[in-house]
Chains A and B, each alone.
Chain A
Amino acid sequence: MSARHDLVVVGGGIHGCTVALMAARGGLKVALVERGALCREASGVNAGTLTLQMTRVALIPYALRAHAMWADAPNWLGHDVGVVVCDGLSLAFTEREEELLSYRAGKRREAGAPIELIGANAAREVEPGLGDGVRLAGHCKVDGYANAYLTGLAFHRALTDAGVTLMEHRAATGIEREEGGFAVQTAQGPVRGKRLVIAGGVWIEPMMAWLGVPLPIKVLVNQLAVTERQRPVMRTVIGIASGLLSLKQYPHGTTVIGGGWQGVGDRERGGVALMPERLIGNVRLACHAIPALKEARLARAWAGLEAETADALPAVGPIPGIPDAYVCGSVHSGYTSGPYLARLLADLILEREPALPLFPIDRLLPPQAGRAA
């Protein structure tokens, strides 16, 4: 019989890694089972934007605290992931976007985000690189970005230091409940734990199905593009009222262009192809906002998978009907908010009162589901 851990976390993205890290620091013996290497899916290929202006309103209080966590990453994570805190602008170029922006910024402001609406001239003072045609802008001083590709390396070191048993390149193939806990099945044998966290990103759905819990998770295929290095052409994080643009230039000169334009892919194959028209559309929007980007060359574009529940709110909390099992994921703009939500879940597991409520999944399940399992 293999050794039993206090906690087994399945999935090594930002959610799984943070839960594992916090739980281990809280004194638990933790194993982290990851199919590939840490943070090589959504958590390593995302745009790294740490913005409140793209965050769901219900998540603003969480995102604010998460933002503070990121800004303090060297302290709690112990490793630099290139976090830069700067101003952010959300732009409106048309009348319709103006309306959308006023409404959305207002709602986010009510939820606690320090967003001000400013005119075109004031916006240009914040971001001299802006092109013509801006009618209105949301301005938020709590904005910024990280280098998402560094997340895996940072967590690899932090988890190792914290004594987590890292099991990379080990895919879970099933989960069984057994006396006193769970057995996560893998080709290299079972990994046993008294408690279980499912943190599989878009793969949460098949993982929950192993436990007999039907939790539908939509798969978004987000396209991103990055330019080669260029002279500094912008200093803020730029978005658009609809949320379909995210733009920032890194200190080394590359600019990442995103906004959730959809490519081709699925759970089985990952993000396999980009739709050229959508890539062009996204790049047009970027160049419309910051015209000097036109001088740069496109170096690379890719697609990653982001998870979404039916109500687009997180799935973070206990799994109904299955004591000691938890789920953690499907957080919109989850790179920004993920670490904080995962920390709240770790608090719950460590029997500390979470500072803010979690997002239990009972709301997403048919009545009685899970209980039968």
Chain B
Amino acid sequence: MMAAFDVIVLGAGPAGATCAATAAEAGRRVAVIDEQPRAGGQVWRAPMGGFPGKGDADQASGDTLRRRLAASPATRRLGHRVWSVVRTDTGYRVDTLGPDGPTALEAPFLVVATGAHERVVPFPGWTTPGVIGLAAATVLLKSHGVVPGRRLVVAGCGPLLAVVAAGLVKAGTEVAAVVDIAPRSAWLTRLPAILGQPRLAARGLAWGFAVAKAGVPVLSGHGVRRVEGGEAVTRVVIGPVDADGAPTEGPEQIIEADGLIIGHGLTTACEVTRLLRAEHRFDRLRGGWIPVVDGAFQTSLPGLHAIGDGAGIRGQAMASLAGEALGWHLAGRMAEAEATRANMAAATPFSDAMAGLMAQRPAQVRAIAADTVVCRCEDVTRAEIDSAVDAGATQIDQLKHFTRCGMGPCQGRSCADTVQELMAARLRMSRQEVGQWTGRPPLRPVPLGEVIGAFSYDDIPIPTPAPL
């Protein structure tokens, strides 16, 4: 079952697929794994299930990457979920569950390109059916052409607001309002950086134009106060917020809608580097905890590299460039690697500007009401988190034991950034000091029935019995 490769790339988004193709084309034996049935990652999600796709620039870019990867000698393990990664004497072992059951791969080099998670900043009613994530909405639009409601409010922060609002307008859905936490000035101060990437700036402008043309009101400096409806969204209540996202005095507005699409930026999906105990540091601008890497994207562990949004939120352009540079590097083509890395510098101001708009706003988190559920898997409220701290919990792993926060199926992927911020605030400690939850397998909740595969009782390698 074991296949030997020089490099395993985990994730076939812009970062991973580019890295895999580059290294494979240059002669390395590469395996690239992704749980999605097709490469492209989040930004270039392939259309699925008969949906022809939107035929837009993202789809074209994705198709180009998918063709390149397919034509390269890289072994593709798509539709394979990675649930365990361990360090071995000779490198790394990756265990996957795919259409053919459990498999394992080994290689001396492992590239982690697992992308980002959507950040949730809870508010009353955020678990109401009809509230969905901004990033998740992009996936629905891209892969399935599905619009999650008839009359929708799009709220939160960052560039995905415009992407989704424009996508909905194009799909003919009524967008009742776009509610942006950032004041207009936040975009204006970033204008120079944005204009430094004319192609991307033009796309942003087109999105804005589509929204404006449809007559959708855009409320800057506003945030969602609560969602009403109980069984399903009926009304979204918004109000003004300050530059840090905390509610300020001012009139509330009630918007009738049957859905709310909301997102407060992205956090790094760094579970693999965490699981392997690579060194991490907290970087608010880059989406939270990020693995510490050197110029060749190598983490503190030999042979373990991290690129793309999973190594710090920088967006697609930087993810692709990092994939290219690392691909060359792993193939021993240092000159090409260096040249590609130089291009990353040019793209940095834009990527920083976008990341800044998506970074967590501590004041917004601190304003979460006491009775609001923060960990939805285990139904833990903000008040329960605070009182656990008051009862003596001073470490993030201990908070879990006191409250069950982060113990559910998502294992803190959704709530970590918020919970850790709340704990740090209560303890008056830095996020770095409060730390992050210890990484453990599985990387995804996986059905036991799939983990065990087909077996006979006699094949179970039962160890020798404990002493009597």
Residues of A within 8 A of B (CB): 36-37, 40, 44, 54, 56-57, 93-94, 100, 104, 107, 133, 149-150, 152-153, 156-157, 168-169, 227-229, 241-244, 260-262, 264, 269, 272-281, 283-288, 293-302, 312, 332
Q: Is the CB of A56 within 8 A of B462?
A: no
Flag the segment in B6-14, B42-50, B390-398 that touches A. B390-398
Q: Is the CB of A37 within 8 A of B93?
A: no
| Binary flags per residue of B401-444, CB closer than 8 Å to A gives 1, else 0 | 11000011101000000000000000000000000001011100
Q: Is the CB of B93 within 8 A of A294?
A: no
Q: Contacts A284-B460, A297-B447, A298-B442 given: A152-B398 contact, CB under 8 Å? A: yes
Q: How far is the CA of A279 from the CA of B451 in the complex (A)?
A: 9
Which residue on chain A has the smallest CB distance to residue B464? A242
| Binary flags per residue of B259-299, CB closer than 8 Å to A gives 1, else 0 | 00000000000000001010000000000000000000000
Q: Is the CB of B468 within 8 A of A57?
A: yes
Choose from B84, B401, B407 the contact partner of A153 (Cβ within 8 Å).
B401
Which residue on chain B has the smallest CB distance to residue A107? B468
- Min CB distance A133 to B, Å, is 7
B460 partner residues in chain A, CB cutoff 8 A: 281, 284-285, 288
Q: How far is the CA of A273 from the CA of B272 in the complex (A)?
A: 12
A301 partner residues in chain B, CB cutoff 8 A: 440-442
- Min CB distance A35 to B, Å, is 12
A277 partner residues in chain B, CB cutoff 8 A: 461
Q: Is the CB of B451 within 8 A of A283?
A: yes
Q: Is the CB of B465 within 8 A of A244?
A: yes
Residues of B within 8 A of A (CB): 83-84, 86-87, 93, 95, 102, 104, 275, 277, 391-395, 397-398, 400-402, 407-409, 411, 438, 440-442, 445-449, 451-453, 455, 457, 460-468
Which residue on chain A has the smallest CB distance to residue B95? A276
Q: Contacts A276-B86, A295-B447 given: A300-B440 contact, CB under 8 Å? A: yes
Q: Is the CB of A242 within 8 A of B465?
A: yes
Leading 3 A-B pairs by shortest Cβ distance = A294-B449, A242-B465, A297-B445
B453 partner residues in chain A, CB cutoff 8 A: 280
Q: How far is the CA of A219 from the CA of B445 in the complex (A)?
A: 29
- Min CB distance B385 to A, Å, is 14
- Min CB distance B114 to A, Å, is 18
Q: Is the CB of A274 within 8 A of B468?
A: no
Summed over the interface, the residue pairs from A and B with CB atoms below 8 Å come to a total of 143
Query: What are 15 inter-chain pairs, A to B, with CB distance below 8 A?
Result: A36-B395, A40-B398, A169-B394, A264-B86, A279-B451, A285-B462, A287-B448, A294-B447, A294-B448, A297-B448, A298-B83, A298-B446, A298-B447, A300-B407, A302-B440
Q: Is the CB of A152 within 8 A of B452?
A: no
- Min CB distance B379 to A, Å, is 10
Q: Is the CB of B463 within 8 A of A261?
A: yes
- Please give 6 more A-B residue pairs, beta carbons under 8 A apart, in addition to A284-B455, A298-B83: A37-B393, A107-B468, A133-B457, A276-B441, A287-B452, A301-B441
A262 partner residues in chain B, CB cutoff 8 A: 463
B104 partner residues in chain A, CB cutoff 8 A: 276
Q: Contacts A156-B392, A301-B441 given: A284-B452 contact, CB under 8 Å? A: yes
Q: Is the CB of B445 within 8 A of A37?
A: no
Report whether over half of chain A's contact residues are helix, strand or loop; otherwise say mixed.
mixed
- Min CB distance B59 to A, Å, is 32
- Min CB distance B53 to A, Å, is 31
- Min CB distance A19 to B, Å, is 20
Q: How far is the CA of A332 from the CA of B408 in the complex (A)?
A: 30
Q: Is the CB of B409 within 8 A of A243?
A: no
Q: Is the CB of B466 within 8 A of A244?
A: yes
Report whether over half of chain B's contact residues are helix, strand or loop; otherwise say mixed.
loop
B467 partner residues in chain A, CB cutoff 8 A: 56, 312, 332
B445 partner residues in chain A, CB cutoff 8 A: 228, 297-299
Q: Contacts A93-B457, A227-B448 given: A297-B468 contact, CB under 8 Å? A: no
Q: How far is the CA of A276 from the CA of B102 in the complex (A)?
A: 11
Q: How far is the CA of A255 from the CA of B411 in the complex (A)?
A: 15
Q: Contacts A294-B452, A298-B442, A299-B409 given: A274-B86 contact, CB under 8 Å? A: yes
Q: How far is the CA of A44 from the CA of B438 in the complex (A)?
A: 14
A37 partner residues in chain B, CB cutoff 8 A: 392-395, 398
Q: How far is the CA of A157 from the CA of B393 in the complex (A)?
A: 12
Q: How far is the CA of A152 from the CA of B397 in the complex (A)?
A: 12
Q: How far is the CA of A227 from the CA of B448 in the complex (A)?
A: 8
Q: Contacts A107-B468, A244-B463, A283-B448 given: A276-B93 contact, CB under 8 Å? A: yes
Q: Is the CB of B398 within 8 A of A297?
A: no
Most buried by B among A56, A157, A273, A283: A273
A54 partner residues in chain B, CB cutoff 8 A: 466
Q: How far is the CA of A276 from the CA of B275 in the complex (A)?
A: 13
Most buried by B among A100, A283, A300: A300
Which residue on chain A has the smallest CB distance to residue B94? A276
- Min CB distance A222 to B, Å, is 11
Most buried by B among A107, A278, A299, A301: A299
- Min CB distance A106 to B, Å, is 10
Choose from A169, A269, A280 the contact partner of B451 (Cβ within 8 Å).
A280
Q: Is the CB of A244 within 8 A of B457?
A: no
Q: Contacts A56-B468, A264-B86 given: A300-B463 contact, CB under 8 Å? A: no
B409 partner residues in chain A, CB cutoff 8 A: 228, 297, 299
Q: How far is the CA of A294 from the CA of B453 in the complex (A)?
A: 10
Q: Is the CB of A243 within 8 A of B397?
A: no
Q: How far is the CA of A72 from the CA of B414 in the complex (A)?
A: 38
Q: How far is the CA of A293 from the CA of B400 in the complex (A)?
A: 25
- Min CB distance A288 to B, Å, is 6
Q: Contacts A104-B468, A284-B452 given: A40-B462 contact, CB under 8 Å? A: no
Q: How far is the CA of A152 from the CA of B400 in the complex (A)?
A: 11
Q: Is the CB of A243 within 8 A of B465?
A: yes
Q: Is the CB of B277 within 8 A of A244?
A: no
Most buried by A among B95, B453, B467: B467
- Min CB distance B455 to A, Å, is 5
A169 partner residues in chain B, CB cutoff 8 A: 394
A297 partner residues in chain B, CB cutoff 8 A: 409, 445-448
Most buried by B among A44, A157, A242, A284: A284
Q: Is the CB of A300 within 8 A of B452?
A: no
Q: How far is the CA of A273 from the CA of B277 in the complex (A)?
A: 9
Q: How far is the CA of A288 from the CA of B453 in the complex (A)?
A: 12
Q: Is the CB of A150 within 8 A of B87?
A: no
Q: Is the CB of A279 within 8 A of B441?
A: yes
Q: How far is the CA of A341 from the CA of B86 in the complex (A)?
A: 38
Q: Is the CB of B441 within 8 A of A274?
A: yes
B461 partner residues in chain A, CB cutoff 8 A: 277-278, 281
Q: How far is the CA of A44 from the CA of B398 in the complex (A)?
A: 10
Q: Contacts A274-B84, A288-B457, A300-B440 given: A40-B401 contact, CB under 8 Å? A: yes
